[in-house]
Amino acid sequence: MKTATAWPLALLGLLTTTPALAQNALSNFSATGRGGVVTTFATGYQALGINPANLGRQGTSLVSFTIGEAGAGVGSQSLSSSQLRQLVFNRSDALTATERTALVANLNNANALNLNADATAFGFALTLPPGLGGLAVSVHQRLNGHAAFNQNSADIVVNGQQAALVQQYYDAAGNPRGGNPPLLSAALDGTELQLALTNEFNIGYGVEVFNVPGVFTLTAGAGYRYVQGVGVADVRVSGGSLLAYSSLSPVFDINYGSLAASPSFNYKSGSGLQPVGTGHGFDVGLAAEVGKTVRLGIALTDLGSMTWTGNVVTANDQALSFPQYAGLTDYDVIRQLVNQFGASGQTLFQYQAAQERRASLPAKLRLGGGVRLSEFFEAGLDVTVPLNQVAGNLPAPFVGAGLDYKPVRWVRLSSGVSGGAGYSVGVPLGLTFVTPVWEAGLSTRSVLGYFSDSNPYASVALGFLRFRIGKS
């Protein structure tokens, strides 16, 4: 990859072609059609990363597996639908002075841009003999991006040297006008730029721990994942403090300038999705079935940490300096954001080289309840709460209510309502074709998002090779 402007679309393509993060299972087309409601619905390999206790349920398939399920979504709570389309798909479109003013105004939001993509290259689950529970493995890839701006950061990203705050302290040549420029922690308060791309190799086990036949069943489960870090970037400016670091694979094509020669810098060059970090994650959960209709679940997921060792740079708080870039002439805001993680004179920050950076995984608490009235109808409610603010986690809690309905045995329709996690209220819709051994489906997290000009959100999830064999 030769240009930084090409990487967003390239990464979305890699999610559908690379065997290996939407935190609410965008790669699961069934869950996406219910708006991410999945805690009590997930069975087999789908329970990995959601609630491994569901692997202990009896009555599921003896064997289930999938190849190549994927999903992606992008949305904004402040950009117009045309602005979002141009930022993501038509970045070379010319940006007029009037459009530049409107873009700065609309980027000034805590959820200016959210991007999630998710792929399950392979998943396999086996129900063991009665009393021994169930086992599952999967290979998974996640991409999560989040951008929040205040007025100053939006202005500087779009207008560079022509931003109002910059002109207040520097002339056109970059000479100080007098007075002390503000610290970035004050000037950029409320700004967040986060990105995480990981490959995950999962294994999970669930088993029944208590059973009163026909009355109450309790299962417990645990999961482990080995995580390869392809890239992370985390900039958070809040309450007078500034955190900024990144560790990005060569696929992002970052120019590190003179830092690349520093003995403190573990420079990774080349091409492709070279890992620049590794980590270990853990999931634990409980699931209960009351009678034959009510299901309840609770899980802690993504416990653990990552150690980033390649291309690690960090930045401390510092005074606003004169940007070494002019204002945008097109809609390639993404290119400008990517430039902020290098050291080529195009950044707001003065970075230092580092040997490694340790960071927590995006831990979450999942709560779910569901009602299964028959094989033709099931409804549920999910709440997912982020337990930290690291790159890759939800920017806010997620709440969703969803249902599955089979008008005939070979068709399952899904819908519901969901909100939070950085997105506005959505009405999902999913269509799945079902046979005794094979499933294929297509869904979207929000039908409304395609038609909303003030809260645009486009998402799709699909899979055509999901199989279930035998009965446990």
The per-residue pLDDT for 380 is 94
Residue 28 has pLDDT above 80, yes or no: yes
* 33 contacts 440 by C-beta, under 8 angstroms: no
Whether 346 contacts 325, CB under 8 Å: yes
pLDDT at position 58 over 80? no
- 346: pLDDT confidence band, cut at 50, 70 and 90? low
Number of domains within the chain: 1
CATH number for the domain spanning 288: value is 2.40.160
Q: What is the pLDDT of residue 472?
A: 58
Q: What is the pLDDT of residues 68-110, one digit of tens each?
A: 999 999 999 999 999 999 998 889 999 999 999 999 999 999 9
Confidence bin at 6 (pLDDT 50/70/90): very low
Burial 180-214, CB ≥16 within 10 A → b, else e: ebbbbbebbbbbbbbbbbbbbebebbbbbeeeeee
* Tokens 């945008």 sit on residue: 328
The rounded mean pLDDT for the chain is 89
Q: Would you say the pTM of this structure is higher than 0.85? A: yes
Q: What is the CA 192 to chain-centroid distance, rounded?
A: 15
> DSSP string spanning 165-191?
HHHHHB-TTS-B-SSPPPBHHHHTTT-
CB 5 within 8 A of CB 335: yes
Tell me the residue range of the domain where 96 lies.
4-471
